[in-house]
């Protein structure tokens, strides 16, 4: 499984106040002292875009491995500014949909671009936006004035052209915790993990530009057995993914055989890829524009389909998509009385879906592939000018009945063997604003949706307003729409307002306010509740090589609690909980060979009747490139919190196509070193060693992951070979 954010928390130990002596804070301020001679930073911004999206990622936001891979692939295979649609350009983090529409409109009015810098003439394409978008853009061949008009559909390349232009990629990755938990004990008198502690990952891929892809991905998680057992769908590696895909072959926009994901509209009906939620990017990620059908080759074991999918351009403006999938899902199954069931019919009732993808113990292995889903659906979309409207729907059938259980908070969860959903989505520009939205009918004839407007008020100001309503009985099995519980798409209503201002080329001010309500119970919360969240970021670029920003964030949400009645008895109730954080961050690009980054972040958590909890994190990063083929990253972090509620998140540099956003609670230090060696353009070696040490504890973690001692260490190795 991908490295989902997990709290690094000690099991025992006393709570302490934050460190009173924070010497690394001084480093943060020294970063803003300019040197005599400076060189601008590298143009590659993928790492920063990923960090902006994942900086405050929590467990419930889902797995962002697909986002990491998509941005990396987009940088390695840039979009042609003379051929990309507005929706494709809007996939670039720095480009909003209104700006993408202006790029397309400029191209239609004045002809193809002669060079990429011509984009600077478009209103809204500021220097900052251009620098961030540049790594994702390229330009194809421009036509001579007397040349014939381009074909209506991309001509398919010949078989010889594809075969001769294939680029191959091989990735092998192995990671291992050096301090093992109780699950890897030799004591077999109690439950232990069935396999070795290594995580093994292998990928083989062949590509021809953006038009052909052949992929095989293999993965074994720590604790899973590495064996050949077709009975449990284990073929050495526990997880296998493969696909063959074509793109832009005449009228065929996309064709995938094997594993694929599908994302349409705003994600209310169908969105299987990852989408970031609320973050420092207060405007652009909020408005989602599905990329349709895409081949899948990631390691997230749940959010994809397996079968056949295609998008065909009936006309240059009318697209028809169809997809069919049949795959097994992990689930918990109860075995009721089966005497009345027909022979050959699967027995048992599914109570919960399992989304961890882990099969390390007999219990977890029993959940593997326990439920089979047959899924068919389609989409038809029509674009006219810069507007688009579409209809998307699907029908899903399970081979076992799904029952959510008797818990009150699960009352409106999906139940049965069949589910069908249909929705209408679209976006349309009107002056300086673009209206967007999606409305859908869920099983049980329940309606919900999301809608809003994003406005490019000037070249220096943009804003977004978004409304969402997902009723308590609105069940979207394959949706992933925007919300407080990003991707849940049920039991939530809310209004979000975000803005982004450039009062000066060196200053950026952005923020949002989100007011939301949960109309039904949630896990551990016995009645409907409300909440609100606000964020403000002030960013300063005194020089191209210096970035400093301050971020303030506050959220108040009602949560479940035990409250005394008049007689002193404890009853289930709710009370507000508030979490506030203040962050000061600095980046200093000393030269192309040396970069410093430092941060201090403080957290306060409080609720009525309980003592306040505090937390603080300070870290110092260094990146050094002593040679063009060698890059070294290192971090020293100090953290001190009063418990899990005051935990602090911190994005880390990691191996290619992976991510790390650990959260820290307790008191201790975190260190890592990452080396990247690229002797030529074809071979890349990476190695990362990380260690976390906790103070005043005897064990770290819990359950089968409980580790004796006060430290956790991990070693990660990867080789990437392109040929």
Q: What is the pLDDT of residue 23?
A: 41
| 117-121-125-129 Cα dihedral, nearest 10 degrees | 20
Among left, alpha and beta (phi > 0; psi -120 to 50; other), residue 529 is beta
User: Is the C-alpha dihedral spanning 649, 655, 659, 660 positive or negative?
Assistant: negative
* CA gap 66, 190 in Å, rounded: 37
* CA gap 129, 571 in Å, rounded: 53
Contact 512, 561 (CB under 8 A): no
User: Does 151 reside within a domain?
Assistant: no
- HSE-CB at 398 with a 13 A cutoff on CA atoms is 25
How many domains is the chain built from?
1
Ranges of residues in the chain with a pLDDT under 70 are: 1-45, 56-63, 141-150, 335-348
Tokens of 629: 């083929």
Largest CA distance in the chain: 91
Tokens of 643: 């418990």
Q: Which residues of 191-218 are buried (b: 16+ CB within 10 A; e: fewer)?
A: bbbbbebbbbbbbbbbbbeebbbbbebb
pTM: 0.89
* CA gap 76, 296 in Å, rounded: 17
Tens of pLDDT along 54-100? 776 654 455 677 777 888 888 888 889 988 888 888 888 888 878 88
Nearest to 539 by CA among 282, 174, 208: 282
Q: Which residues of 614-639 are buried (b: 16+ CB within 10 A; e: fewer)?
A: bbbbbbbbbbebeeeeebebbbebbb
Q: What are phi and psi of 59, to 5 degrees?
A: -60, -40
Q: What is the pLDDT of residue 203?
A: 96
Contact 491, 157 (CB under 8 A): no
User: Does 204 reside within a domain?
Assistant: yes
Contact 223, 197 (CB under 8 A): yes
User: Does 345 reside within a domain?
Assistant: no
Q: Which residues of 427-439 are buried (b: 16+ CB within 10 A; e: fewer)?
A: bbbeeebbebbbb
Q: How many CB atoms lie within 10 A of CB 294?
A: 23
Q: What are phi and psi of 63, to 5 degrees?
A: -100, 120
Determine which helix (DSSP H) or strand (DSSP E) holds 362, and give its type and residue range. helix 362-367
Nearest to 321 by CA among 266, 252, 368: 252
Task: Give 674-720 as a DSSP string.
Answer: EEEE-SSSSEEEEEEEEEEEESS-SEES-GGG-EESSEEEEEEEEEE
User: Does 225 reside within a domain?
Assistant: yes
Q: Which residues of 601-611 are buried (b: 16+ CB within 10 A; e: fewer)?
A: bbbbbbbeeee
Task: Give 567-618 as a DSSP string.
Answer: TS-EEEEEEEEEEEEEEEEEEEEEETTEEEEEEEEEEEEEETTS--EEEEEE
* CA gap 376, 311 in Å, rounded: 14
User: Does 648 reside within a domain?
Assistant: no
User: Does 199 reside within a domain?
Assistant: yes
Q: Which residues of 42-81 are buried (b: 16+ CB within 10 A; e: fewer)?
A: eeebbbebbbbbbbbbeeebbbbbbbbbbbeebbeebbeb
Q: What are phi and psi of 98, to 5 degrees?
A: -55, -40
Nearest to 431 by CA among 454, 451, 461: 454
Facing residues of 39 across strands?
Answer: none
Q: What is the pLDDT of residue 141?
A: 64
* CA gap 122, 130 in Å, rounded: 10
* CA gap 613, 609 in Å, rounded: 12
User: Does 31 reside within a domain?
Assistant: no
Q: What is the pLDDT of residue 11?
A: 46
**Residue numbers of the domain that contains 190:** 157-247
User: Does 407 reside within a domain?
Assistant: no
- Long-range residue pairs from 17-23, CB within 8 A, at least 24 positions apart, any chain: 17/614, 17/640, 17/642, 18/602, 18/614, 18/615, 18/616, 18/640, 18/641, 19/616, 19/618, 19/638, 19/640, 19/667, 22/600, 22/616, 22/618, 22/638
Nearest to 714 by CA among 676, 677, 672: 672
Q: What is the pLDDT of residue 448?
A: 98
Contact 280, 537 (CB under 8 A): yes
Tokens of 525: 């919360």
- HSE-CB at 465 with a 13 A cutoff on CA atoms is 5
Q: What is the pLDDT of residue 128?
A: 80
């Amino acid at each position: 499984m991908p490295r989902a954010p997990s709290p690094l928390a000690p099991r025992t130990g006393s709570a302490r106040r934050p460190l009173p002596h924070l010497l690394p804070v001084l480093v943060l301020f020294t970063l803003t002292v300019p040197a005599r001679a400076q060189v601008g930073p590298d143009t590659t911004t993928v790492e920063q875009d990923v960090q902006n999206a994942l900086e405050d990622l929590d467990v419930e936001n889902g797995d962002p491995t697909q986002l990491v891979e998509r941005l990396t692939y987009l940088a390695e295979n840039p979009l042609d500014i003379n051929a990309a649609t507005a929706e494709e350009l809007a996939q670039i983090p720095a480009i909003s949909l209104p700006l993408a529409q202006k790029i397309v409109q400029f191209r239609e009015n004045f002809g193809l671009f002669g060079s990429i810098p011509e984009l600077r003439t478009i209103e809204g394409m500021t220097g900052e936006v251009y620098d961030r978008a540049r790594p994702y853009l390229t330009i194809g061949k421009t036509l001579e004035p007397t040349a014939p008009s381009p074909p209506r559909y991309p001509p398919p390349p010949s078989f010889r052209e594809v075969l001769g232009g294939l680029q191959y990629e091989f990735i092998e990755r192995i990671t291992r915790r050096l301090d093992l938990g109780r699950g890897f004990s030799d004591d077999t008198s109690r439950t232990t993990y069935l396999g070795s502690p290594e995580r093994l990952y292998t990928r083989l891929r062949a590509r021809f530009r953006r038009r052909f892809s052949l992929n095989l991905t293999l993965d074994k998680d720590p604790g899973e057995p590495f064996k050949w057992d077709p009975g449990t769908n284990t073929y050495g590696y526990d997880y296998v993914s493969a696909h063959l895909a074509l793109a832009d072959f005449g009228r065929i926009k996309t064709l995938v055989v094997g594993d694929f994901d599908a994302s349409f509209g705003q994600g209310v009906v169908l969105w299987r890829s990852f989408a970031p939620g609320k973050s420092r990017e207060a405007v652009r990620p909020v408005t989602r524009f599905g990329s349709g059908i895409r081949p899948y080759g990631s390691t997230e074991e749940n959010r994809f389909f397996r079968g056949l999918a295609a998008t065909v351009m009936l006309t240059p403006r009318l697209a028809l998509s169809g997809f069919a999938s049949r795959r097994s899902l992990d689930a918990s199954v109860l075995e009721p009385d089966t005497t009345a069931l027909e022979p050959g019919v699967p027995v048992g009732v599914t109570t919960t879906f399992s989304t961890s993808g882990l099969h390390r113990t007999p219990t977890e292995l029993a959940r593997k592939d326990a439920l089979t889903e047959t899924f068919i659906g389609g989409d038809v979309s029509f674009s006219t000018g810069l507007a688009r409207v579409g209809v998307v729907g699907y029908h899903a059938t399970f081979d076992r009945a799904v029952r959510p259980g008797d818990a009150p908070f699960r009352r409106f969860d999906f139940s049965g063997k069949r589910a069908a959903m249909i929705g209408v989505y679209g976006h349309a520009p009107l002056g300086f604003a673009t209206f967007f939205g999606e409305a859908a009918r869920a099983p049980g004839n329940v309606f919900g949706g999301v809608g809003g407007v994003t406005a490019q008020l000037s070249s220096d100001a943009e804003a977004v307003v978004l409304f969402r309503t997902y009723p308590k009985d609105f069940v979207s099995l394959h949706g992933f729409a925007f919300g407080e519980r990003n991707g849940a798409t049920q039991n939530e209503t809310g209004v979000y307002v975000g803005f982004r201002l450039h009062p000066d080329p060196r200053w950026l001010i952005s923020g949002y306010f989100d007011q939301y309500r949960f109309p039904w119970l949630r896990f551990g919360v016995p009645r409907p509740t409300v909440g609100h969240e606000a964020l403000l970021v002030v960013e300063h670029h005194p020089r191209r090589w210096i970035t400093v920003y301050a971020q303030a964030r506050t959220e108040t949400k009602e949560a479940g609690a035990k409250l005394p009645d008049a007689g002193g008895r404890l009853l289930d109730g709710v009370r507000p909980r508030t979490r506030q954080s203040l962050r000061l961050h600095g980046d200093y690009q000393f030269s192309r060979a040396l970069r410093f980054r430092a941060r201090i972040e403080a957290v306060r958590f409080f609720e009525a009747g309980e003592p306040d909890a505090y937390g603080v994190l300070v870290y110092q990063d260094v990146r050094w490139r002593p040679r063009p083929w060698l890059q070294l990253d290192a971090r020293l972090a100090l953290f001190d919190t009063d418990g899990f509620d005051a935990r602090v998140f911190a994005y880390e540099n990691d191996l290619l196509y992976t991510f790390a956003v650990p959260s820290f609670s307790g008191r201790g230090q975190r260190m890592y070193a990452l080396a990247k060696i690229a002797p030529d353009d074809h071979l890349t070696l990476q190695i990362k060693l990380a260690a976390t040490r906790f103070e005043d504890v005897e064990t770290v973690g819990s359950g089968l992951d409980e580790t004796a001692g006060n430290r956790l260490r991990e070693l990660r190795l990867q080789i990437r070979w392109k040929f």
